[in-house]
Structure 1
Amino acid sequence: MLDKYQKRVKNLIVRFSTGEESFEQYQHQQAVKRSLREYEKRTKKSSDEEALYNISHYMNIHRSIYIPMEDLTHYARDLGLSYVTPAGRDLFKERFVEDGDWDQHKAKIFPYIYNEKNLRTERYLKVYDRIKKYGYLSQKQLNAKPVYHDFKEVDEIKVVIDRHGNFLKVVDCGKHRLAAARTLNIREIPVFIQGIHYEWAIKCLNKHAMDPIEAINLEIEQLNCKQPAVAK
């Protein structure tokens, strides 16, 4: 007779071979389960404030939202960038919530991104023409596949939330789209939240007496300017 381990392996082989589930999907699901188990274990032994440091990217955080174009005026200059990992990933590689003064190093976006050099590039002109013709479509509307398979991120303009609850753009992601959207007076744009400041997370906890993840999600949804339609 097959033991439990052998049955599990046999079942996985069938699922992979039939296309019911890819090995990559299986790996991601296992990572999510491990992350949740670790979070629950650590949270039981710590306060809610300490538990914030245990929140990882694998957990059910509402990260894709719409924000007013006018709310995105600055970019974060120091997120531990490198040429190996995507912009902003170094600082938020292990956790979704980070403390420190990383949000104090910022600069205005539009002297940096919205300038004559960027507006002349062929890539910008293609993006501009597409948005002008079809409107600003999110990656979900475009049926785009996730680009970073470890966190299942989508290739939206990436932002972080500072200690005051303000959005800071992550450099080197979507600068052509952002410049085109500004030129075309797009009022709302979809973004992907890369991470948040610890002090803002504490404010979420103090405002909503609930589980840390639920408190953060509730506050993020209140920042979402395009709320889902309510069925009548």
Structure 2
Amino acid sequence: MDITIKIDIEKAIADTLAPEKLAPILDKHVTEAITSAISNATGYNSDFRKALSEQLKEAMPHGLGLDDVAKFQHILNQAMQSAVSGSNLSLVQTALSQAVMEALPTLPASVTMTELLAMARDDFCKEDGEAFYAYLEESEIGGGGGFLYLDSDATPGKALFGREKTRSEAKYSAQNAIHFNKDGDVYALKLDGVKIKPASLPTVISRFDTVLMSMYVGRTRLIADLDDDEIRSLSREQYND
């Protein structure tokens, strides 16, 4: 008995190539390709891991303590920027950062200016009611945010032509400067006189330094709960009744 099977080849091919049939296949293989690429780029024998390991050995030869977390995040952000490129850069960096943040010790998600000034007073070792410099300049654009300047010297910088600098003039000499937007995200930072950049390696040794760096790398937001008059009051001499 003869069996004859007629197949419409063109229709079969057209049906197979239909978008609704190809989409799941493409999704699966694209996901596998991205997963493999990330694994290769950051895996055990990757250049990324080796480079990061060397940087951490130099930065933290004695291990990772709580006050080193922000520095670690700073180094990691720089390493990820170099290791991952292309159209998926932002997506991959976000995923990697989230994975790292979940594994690291906890830092505060936000800190108020009141809390930050208390940390600054302690970090500046201001005893017996000594004053330090603190100046808040609200941003005139963007609907909020501003610039907070801090220094252990109550009048940072030299006098101008025989007269003492005003508080607004002294801001340019302040050792610490925090630039933040209306949401409390810090987008620029000067720490101990050094403008922090992705390629710089700051020395983070105190809780105050750590919180500043944590704000810079996006782990901590600054809550503006004070105006400049209140900032000035908290930075003046403090005496116990």
Common topology (TM > 0.5): no
TM-score (norm. length: structure 2): 0.24
Q: Which has the higher contact order (CA 8 A, sep 6+)?
A: 1
Higher helix share: 2
TM-score (norm. length: structure 1): 0.24
Q: Larger radius of gyration, structure 1 or 2? A: 2
